[in-house]
Structure 1
Amino acid sequence: MDIRQLQTVIAVVDTGSLAAAASVVNITPSAVSQQIQTLEGELGVALFDRTKRPLQLNAKGEEFVRAARVIVQTMTETRMIISGGRTAGVLNFGAIRTVSTHLVPEAFVEMRASFPELTFEMTVGMSEGLVANVAAGRLDAALVAEHVGIPAGLVWSPILTEPLVIIAPPGNEGRSEISLLRDLPFIRYATSVPLARQIATELSRLSVTPREIGVTNTMPAVVGMVQAGLGVALVPRIATYNLPPEALYCRPFCDDAITRCVGLVQRQVSSRSTVLAALRKELSDRVMFIG
């Protein structure tokens, strides 16, 4: 077994075909097939379910590719260190939408000073999917919401704890949250994520049944509808970050008693541990600045 075989298997998984993988690792499709067969022979197990098209990993293959990604990344970084080079390559990072527009990009900017040869690839998605991608090795880490199951082998550390706020169009200054929710149309955030469920729970707890006028599945769209004057909404405070004060009327919801937590999930053993420790610090510093 050598690193070229590992890189080939990873390329097949990431591209979904032998032909596409061949162009990535710069060999012929037949050579890709031969490398996989040789590797499976050395391991004594099949890695792919060959009854399916495109090729799909079986359970043993999933385990192998997770380990292979770590090995390839570790060897790459070790070569850099030994040769006197600096940390380079791509940091594959995931983020939920509410932190992807400002918090994470600003942390990336600060990271450039310490890791000028590092590049960033950010995947925006839902917490459950992002955690699954970290576990599978497709992402180095992700910023996800609390209350998501964390599989064995991963660790989650809190970064941001923020209150929910109620936002309304300008001109509603001084009105209570109950008055806003009862008198103005409501814009509902509708996705299968913890935040949407949390908002629905709090409305139920207050025995308030808002009159819905809009439903959308992204938080920026929720904020945009409120800015346009369509109605009111409940959002995490970071959703209003960088908006001018006159753009919205924003007040604490339940006196800041209702919060949600976002944290960094990564593998317990990661070849990117140094980079991720620096990123965690930059994210925490940005949170303090935003707060």
Structure 2
Amino acid sequence: MSMDTRQLQTLLAIAEQGNFAAAARKVNLTPSAVSQQIAALEKEIGFPMFDRSRRPPALNAKGVQLLQAARTILQIVDDTRTDISGASVTGTLNIGSLRTCTVGLLPRAIADLRETYPHLTFRLTVGFSQALMSDVVSGRLDVALVAEHVGVPPSLKWTPFLSEPLVIVGPAAARRQSAQDRLTGWPYIRYRTNVPLANQIDTEISRLGLSPRDVVVVDTMPAAIECVKAGLGVSVVPLISLRDENAATLAWVPFGDPPTSRQIGTVQRMNSARSAVIETFHDALTRQAQSLQAELSAAQ
């Protein structure tokens, strides 16, 4: 029996559902039929894909490798069928994103993309750049929005779409103060977590010879902004993380000398079956990022 897409779909269902019985329900087969398909696939490729000493059986290293290939193959088959038939692009685009990009930017870009692909659905995973890139490599994500200063694996393509200014944001009472006065005259809300952005901010503060007085230490940008809104002090955040209403009620100035920024871009697999959709998505992100930055700047 030769390998076919039904076997690959069954393999994918097992990985997604966690066990053979749940996968059987998803692909409308009996558990014994699922076991037969997997046994036939293992015979075809010449090695076992599951560690059957565990309950339920778990994919081994070679099984994970084949799973990644199966995701790509099935997507290519689906996209090719769509191209030949002239049908609309369907299915799910699996997107990973930094948390800051989910405020304003990403929802707008998805809405923009749906104008071109109205039958496409989306699944969003929020996380840190390194973990998101690993998920793109493994095939769990089609594309991810990640920051610079992380090592991009050679199997991925990195394409920047936004140079994002970092700003010192404070209460309205700080509006007429200089950047240095804000960081030395107000309590400081420090963003501290194991990501490049936190290190970038701390490094620049140290280079400027400043020693802000920490009042709160947080591990998310939304938490930092909420602390500023509560009047606890000032913080350094990416401009894009400010919502429209925050930009109007809070006071911000550029951070760093010269002003500091970070790049945000998309990563995808080199031979992604979704490359056309991802290219359109990247264009939507670029347009919406420019629009959002203009709106935020106008609010000051």
TM-score tier after normalising by the smaller chain length: over 0.9
Write out per-residue CA displacement over residues 140-184 of structure 1, whole angstroms, 9 at most, x where no aligned residue: 000001122222221111111112100111111221222211221
Could you say which residue in structure 2 is the equivalent of 1:192? Answer: 194
Deviation at 1:17, TM superposition (A): 1.2
Work out the CA distance in 2 between the residues paired with 1:166 and 1:132. Answer: 32
Could you say which residue in structure 1 is the equivalent of 2:77? Answer: 75
| Residue 46 in structure 1 maps to residue 48 in structure 2 | yes
1:153 and 1:245, CA in 2 relative to 1: closer, same or farther beyond 3 A? closer
Deviates more, 1:227-236 or 1:26-35: 26-35
Work out the CA distance in 1 between the residues paired with 2:129 and 2:57. Answer: 27
Deviation at 1:87, TM superposition (A): 0.4
Deviation at 1:245, TM superposition (A): 4.2
1:13-162 equivalences in 2 (<5 Å): 13-162=15-164
Could you say which residue in structure 1 is the equivalent of 2:206? Answer: 204
Deviation at 1:254, TM superposition (A): 2.1
Write out per-residue CA displacement over residues 187-214 of structure 1, whole angstroms, 9 at most, x where no aligned residue: 1112211111111111222222222111
CA contact (8 A) 1:189 1:222 kept: yes
CA contact (8 A) 1:186 1:233 kept: yes
1:275-286 equivalences in 2 (<5 Å): 275-286=277-288
Write out per-residue CA displacement over residues 92-128 of structure 1, whole angstroms, 9 at most, x where no aligned residue: 1111000012111101111111111111111111111
Deviates more, 1:19-28 or 1:266-275: 19-28
CA contact (8 A) 1:96 1:144 kept: yes
CA contact (8 A) 1:241 1:290 kept: no
Work out the CA distance in 1 between the residues paired with 2:257 and 2:179. Answer: 10
Deviation at 1:54, TM superposition (A): 4.2
Unaligned runs of 5+ in 1: none
Identity %: 48
Secondary structure (helix, strand or coil) at the match of 1:207 reads coil
TM-score by length of 1: 0.95
CA contact (8 A) 2:167 2:238 kept: yes
CA contact (8 A) 1:94 1:141 kept: yes
Unaligned runs of 5+ in 2: 294-300
Deviates more, 1:151-160 or 1:254-263: 254-263
Work out the CA distance in 2 between the residues paired with 1:198 and 1:55. Answer: 43
Work out the CA distance in 2 between the residues paired with 1:160 and 1:256. Answer: 18
CA contact (8 A) 1:155 1:265 kept: yes
Work out the CA distance in 1 between the residues paired with 2:6 and 2:115. Answer: 32
Could you say which residue in structure 2 is the equivalent of 1:248? Answer: 250
Secondary structure (helix, strand or coil) at the match of 1:171 reads helix
Secondary structure (helix, strand or coil) at the match of 1:162 reads strand
Write out per-residue CA displacement over residues 250-275 of structure 1, whole angstroms, 9 at most, x where no aligned residue: 01112552111111000111111111
Deviation at 1:219, TM superposition (A): 0.9
CA contact (8 A) 2:103 2:241 kept: no
| RMSD of equivalent CA atoms | 1.5
TM-score by length of 2: 0.92
Work out the CA distance in 2 between the residues paired with 1:223 and 1:244. Answer: 8
Work out the CA distance in 1 between the residues paired with 2:155 and 2:247. Answer: 43
Could you say which residue in structure 1 is the equivalent of 2:298? Answer: none
1:230-269 equivalences in 2 (<5 Å): 230-254=232-256, 257-269=259-271
Code of the residue aligned with 2:64 in structure 1: it is E
Code of the residue aligned with 2:88 in structure 1: it is R
Could you say which residue in structure 2 is the equivalent of 1:166? Answer: 168
Code of the residue aligned with 1:121 in structure 2: it is R
Work out the CA distance in 1 between the residues paired with 2:258 and 2:68. Answer: 41
- Counting matched residue pairs gives 291
Code of the residue aligned with 1:130 in structure 2: it is L
1:25 and 1:112, CA in 2 relative to 1: closer, same or farther beyond 3 A? same
Deviation at 1:67, TM superposition (A): 0.9
Code of the residue aligned with 1:64 in structure 2: it is L
CA contact (8 A) 1:170 1:247 kept: yes
